[in-house]
Amino acid sequence: MPELDLATARQIITAVRDWAEETPLWFEGASRVSAARMGLPLIGSKGGVTVTDGDGRVLGAVGIAGKTGEQDEALAIHAIEITGLVAAAR
């Protein structure tokens, strides 16, 4: 699998967030299909933060939910940073 650089990951995340904001009815329909097929809705919100190493390589992501989007994102960033990794929020 090819590596995904941080700049590309940010572009993808931003494009999907923008698309979700511009087409809420599509995401609502996709969420209903997801809930019907897998028992879990598709939810787009802040709180997801990309995790990278010191060289900028994308390692994964952390998602937090339960408070406001801004609070969820801040908690995710804090959790990543206390491990010594790098948080790459939007």
Split the chain (90 residues) into runs of 10 and give each run's mean pLDDT: 65 74 80 80 73 85 83 89 83
The Cα 1–Cα 41 span in angstroms is 28
Backbone angles phi, psi at 83, to 5 degrees: -85, -10
- The structure tokens listed for 81 are 């940073």
pTM value is 0.55
The pLDDT of residue 82 is: 92
Q: Quick one: which of 68, 32, 76 has its CA closest to 89? A: 76
> For the chain, what are the domain ranges?
6-88
The Cα 71–Cα 80 span in angstroms is 14
